[in-house]
Copies of this chain bind each other. A is one copy, B any other.
Amino acid sequence: MSKTENNRLEEFRKDREEANEKILNLDHLGIKRFFNLDNNTYSDGALPAETKELLGLVASTVLRCNDCIDYHLEEAAKAGFSKEELVDALSVALTVGGSIVIPHLRHANETLEILEEEGTLDS
């Protein structure tokens, strides 16, 4: 796969953004407030924003949600974590969550490769 080829991450980003937009357009106050709260969760607080991305990544992995894993891997890569650091975070999720996590580890590793090819993740 060349860098210029479309990849599943690009499609995911586009679909995710459009679908989130549609949800906000439902104009449900509780849902809109949840989305706002969710965005604010990963900003600087007592812990720096980047650490909280790692926490979101591991939480997503043990709860076995591929879309959430992809989102947090990308945000964590943008925040400057190296591949080795992200793999080390995923290893914690594997120990805590067990072998049932392995299919999601395979997915996450493929995402890491795409992020590397794109240049989003330093390799």
| Interface size of A as a range | 35 or more
Minimum distance in angstroms from A18 CB to a CB of chain B: 9
Whether B106 and A16, one on each chain, are in contact in the complex, defined by CB atoms closer than 8 angstroms, is yes
State how many copies of this chain the complex holds: 6
Chain A 80-114: CB-based contact to B (< 8 A → 1; otherwise 0): 00101101111111111111111101100110010
Chain A 9-44: CB-based contact to B (< 8 A → 1; otherwise 0): 000000010011011001011110111011011100
Minimum distance in angstroms from A26 CB to a CB of chain B: 5
Contacts of A121 in B (CB 8 A): none
Contacts of A26 in B (CB 8 A): 87, 109
Minimum distance in angstroms from A43 CB to a CB of chain B: 9
Most buried by B among A30, A58, A93: A30
